[in-house]
Amino acid sequence: MSVALKMELPDGVFSALRKSPDEFVREMRLTAAVKWFEMTIISQEKAAEIAGLSRSDFMAELGRFRVSPFQYSASEVLAELSDAD
């Protein structure tokens, strides 16, 4: 099941961004998904779904936004490494 949303934007938005309305929607979905993932609000799997991409394609897109595919803080990584000893 899916839900259609309607959004009204000024025509100038598309020319300023050099994107068609369809390209804009795809980019907006991806950008929102990346940000919510980065904020640890949603999982990688859910972010990929929101973006309309496979999980591997979403992970590849994270690099474009300079977002790590790993949702661990430095202290969490160090704690995991110390537990591995």
Going from the first residue of the chain to its last (85 residues), give the mean pLDDT of each consecutive group of 10, the final group possibly shorter: 89 86 93 96 96 96 93 78 77
Q: How far apart are CA 85 and CA 69, in angstroms?
A: 25
Beta strands in the chain (DSSP E): none
pLDDT at 83: 80
In contact, 55 and 48? CB cutoff 8 Å: yes
